[in-house]
Each structure stands twice: as structure tokens, then as C-alpha cells.
Structure 1
Amino acid sequence: MEHRPTFLFVILGGFFVANALVAEFIGVKIFALEDTMGWERFNFNLFGQSGALQFSAGVLLWPIVFVMTDVINEYYGKRGIRLLSFLAVGLITYAFFMIFAAIQLSPADWWVGQNVNKGVPDMQDAFSVILGQGLLIIVGSLAAFLIAQLVDVMSFHQIKEATGEKMIWLRATGSTLISQLVDSFVVLAIAFKFGPELVGNVEPWSWSQLLAVGTVQYAYKFMMAIVLTPLIYLAHYLIDNYLGQERAAAMKARAGSWDN
């Protein structure tokens, strides 16, 4: 019984880091929502931009990451989630360095053309394009993730300080909505607006394009944060039963302290 909090932290932390890492790698794919769902295109017009609703595939996992943030925050406090956030950023950075190193390796001749019949004429080019995301996207994504996580932690504890142990949905969903607003626009601003202006070799997005894409992605995250709110209560129920009500209450009380 005495090892259960540690075991739980390892499980939750591993799932948190895995989701953050996978979200980074699948984020290079941009998908059209209407085509994916088999719907007629909405052809929306937002900030002067029109077309299908397009998302980075990474948005599929980020709502889960932020829900996990609130669950871990509830039981392990600021120190716990801050440790996992920095660990995730460090591992993502390490993974990208390893991928860039792998891209530089000279490919075997037979491997380059092995999937020509499947519409992939050059495996090395495909490997480089899909896994070798631009440095600006990497920097923007990592910065957005870290800033959003810190914002989530701060807003979570401020709401909890004001409401006490009541209204779990408010501190969980509210902090997620605030942090994901930051996440949605910081990554786009760094990767596609300010970054290209500094580098000078990439055409920067217009403000209307940045606002349109950021607003659409945040609307999705907003909706998912609300839809996933019941999972917070389910997670509390399962964790409280696993730890025992007395120990769970003690961990929550300790986690709620600003000095923990």
C-alpha cells in the first residue's frame, strides 16, 4: 500500500510523456475535418480566410495531455506536473536530435526505392520530410507546450484556492481552456509568424491566417475540454479507490499547498 502513490505517479507520468511525445511526431500531418468525417465542407470564412476546417493531427492528443495535467496536478501538485513537463520537453528535444541524426545517415540503395509501387518514389525524401520537421515548428511547439503547462498549473491552483475541494470541473476544465488558448496561438506565432520574419527564408503567415487557424484549433480544444470533463471525475473515482480515501484526501491537501 505504501508504494501505491509512487506507482501511480510512474503510470500517470509515463502516459503523460508518451502522449506529449506522440503528439509532436504526428503533428506534422494536417488533416481536413470534413473530409475525414465524410461531411460536406463548411467553407467557413474567418478573418478573411475560407476553406475546409484544417487541423494538425497533434490536436487529437493534446486535450488528453491537458486532462492528464489536471489529474496529476490534483494529487501531486505543482512540483509533480512541473517535473513531468520539463521531462517531456527534454525527451522530445532528445528525440528530435536523434531523428535529425538518423536523417543524415546514407540510405541503402534498395531501401530508397522499395516502395515505388506504393506511390513513394524516394524513401529517404519521405523519411526526411515527415520526421524532419522544420526547426521553427519544433521550437514553437516546445515553447507553446512548456508555457501552456505552466499556465495550466498556475490557473488550476488559483481556481482551487478560490473554490476549495468543490467544483472539480471548474478548476480542471477552466485551467485547461486557459492554457490551451495560450498553446493554440504561441506555437503558430513562433513557427509561422515571428520565426520566419527573423529567419528571412520562409514566407511568414499573415495575421488573418494565423488568427483563423489558431481560432479553429482552439475551438476544437475548447469543445474537447468540455467533452472530456467527465473523465476527470472518473479518474478521481478510480484513483481515490486505488489509493484509499484517507490517503487520497491527504495527497490532495498537500498538493493544494503553494509550498508543496
Structure 2
Amino acid sequence: MFPSARSASPDDRRAGLLFLVLSGFFVANALIAEFVGVKIFALEDTLGLAPLDWNLFGQSGSLNFTAGVLLWPIVFVMTDIINEYFGRRGVRLISWLAVVLIVYAFAFAYAAIHLAPAGWWVGAGRNQGVDDLQAAFAAIFGQGLWTIGGSVTAFLVGQLIDVSIFHAIRKRTGDRHIWLRATGSTLVSQFIDSFVVLYIAFVLGPQQWPIGLFLAVGTVNYVYKFVAAIALTPLIYAARRGLDGWLGRDLSERLKRQAAEE
């Protein structure tokens, strides 16, 4: 994608540095979201509000989400920024890289779980209310294969759909309406992401969720992501202004033109 460091011009090196930084931040967010996603939190309690007690598809309850939802909207915003400057190839490259590294990280997490724990370490957390650190470690890092498979599949499908919609809108609007291509592509890809992961992990998986529960939880999660995507739209404009200033007008326009012409 980029020329060698020795032969690269200052502009090429700056573009390569930008891609490296954006890719690193993107992959880090995706990895963190996967690992913290095992925690389920109550939104109302976190904000100090009374439970909403929603009722959808015959299901009711409070607003409970995985902790990963805090990071996934940022991942999709990063996708749109990389889309803007590096096009389809850039997004596909970092998406596949993130998937490979997520699988790699979980493989080593499983290996770590099966290492024989030191006897003193197992009970070292009792003063913190954790009687068995080995069991806690296994519960946190040993997410089921159905959950991992669903999450990785949903992430990759969502990314590929995001990049396709982003460029379809860009083709029709040119450099105008950044909010439309960024938010529009994110809203569609987040919809796919919200339902695919739940269907694979909890409907096809061993828990065998009823369809009503699947639709209710998926809808609540998507509404949250919908609101987050709209709320983060100004961040796209701020990031673009900052990157345009750092890259310089000529380089910025060249990168965006190349991304649009792929």
C-alpha cells in the first residue's frame, strides 16, 4: 500500500504514519472491546436513574449492555475516518488484521487458562472477595466459542458492509455530506453487528435464546448504538479538520481523491 521508507517522499511517509496510528488505535479498540464485552452493566444504575423497565417482543427488563458497546461505536467511527483517507483497501486490511489478532489473543487466553495455577495464587484474591482467582480468570477470559465466533463474524461482516455503503454514498455525493456517508454507513453496519453476534452466540449457541428475547436484546443494543453513532458524528468533522491541518491541504486532498477513485 505504501512505498518503502527509503524511497518514500515526506508526504508518503506522513501518510504511512497516519495509517499506522489509525490502524493501531483501531485494532486496540477492537481487542479491548472483545475482552471487556464479557461484563454486562446496567445503564440506569450506572447513571443513577430509575429502571426503564422496557417491554419489547414480549420481553421486559432494564437496559443491560455488554461493556463492549462503549468501544464499538468508536471502532466504527475509526472505520469511517480510515475510509475517508485510505479507501476500501485500507479498511479491509485493518479489518482482517483485527480479526486475526482477536483470534490470536483468544487462543493465548485459552492457553493461559489451562496453565496449572500456583497454589498460593488461587486464593490470593480472598481479601478482595474473590475466593478462586483461577475460576475468575477462566470465567472472564474463557468466553465461549459461540460468543467469540459470533462476535468476530459480526465484526467482519459489519466492516465490509460499512465500507461498501460508505463508498456508495460517496460516489453519489462527492466530497459533500460527510455526515451522510459516515453516519449512514455506521447505522447500517451497526444494525448487522447488533443482531448477527446475538444470533450466532445465543440463538444458534448452547443457550438457545427464544426469538423474542433475541429481537428484544438486539433492538435495545441497536438503539444504543444508533444514538451513539449520531452523537459521535461531530467527532468525524473534528477529526477530519485536524487531520487535514496535519497532513496539509495538498496531501489531504490527494489521499481523499485516491480513496474515492478506488
Q: 2:151 aligns with which of 121, 131, 141?
A: 141
Identity of aligned residues (%): 60
Name the count of aligned residue pairs: 252
Which sections of structure 1, spanning at least 5 residues, go unmatched? 197-201
Tell me the residue number matched to 1:41.
Answer: 51
Q: Is the counterpart of residue 181 in structure 1 residue 191 in structure 2?
A: yes
Quote the RMSD (CA, aligned, Å). 0.7
Question: What is the 5 A alignment of 1:71-220?
Answer: 71-194=81-204, 196=205, 202-220=206-224
Tell me the residue number matched to 1:226.
Answer: 230
- 1:30-60: per-residue Cα shift (whole Å, max 9, x none)? 1111111110001111111111111010000
- 1:176-225: per-residue Cα shift (whole Å, max 9, x none)? 0000000000000000012x2xxxxx230011100111000000000010
Q: 2:247 aligns with which of 243, 249, 260?
A: 243
* Aligned equivalents of 1:42, 1:224: Cα separation in 2: 18
TM-score (norm 2): 0.95
Q: Is the counterpart of residue 52 in structure 1 residue 62 in structure 2?
A: yes
* Aligned equivalents of 2:39, 2:99: Cα separation in 1: 20
TM-score (norm 1): 0.96
Amino acid at match of 1:71: I
- 1:80-101: per-residue Cα shift (whole Å, max 9, x none)? 0100000000000000000000
Equivalent residue of 1:16, what SS? helix
Equivalent residue of 2:55, what SS? strand
* Aligned equivalents of 1:250, 1:14: Cα separation in 2: 23
Cα deviation, residue 247, structure 1: 1.2
* Aligned equivalents of 1:117, 1:242: Cα separation in 2: 50
Amino acid at match of 1:164: G
* Aligned equivalents of 2:106, 2:247: Cα separation in 1: 37
Q: Is the counterpart of residue 20 in structure 1 residue 20 in structure 2?
A: no
* Aligned equivalents of 1:160, 1:120: Cα separation in 2: 52
* Aligned equivalents of 1:222, 1:24: Cα separation in 2: 20
Cα deviation, residue 117, structure 1: 2.2
* Aligned equivalents of 1:239, 1:116: Cα separation in 2: 49
Amino acid at match of 2:163: V
Amino acid at match of 1:18: A
Tell me the residue number matched to 1:199.
Answer: none
* Aligned equivalents of 2:246, 2:126: Cα separation in 1: 52
* Aligned equivalents of 1:69, 1:228: Cα separation in 2: 13
* Aligned equivalents of 2:207, 2:240: Cα separation in 1: 47
Cα deviation, residue 116, structure 1: 1.2
Equivalent residue of 1:58, what SS? helix
Tell me the residue number matched to 2:7.
Answer: none
Equivalent residue of 1:256, what SS? helix
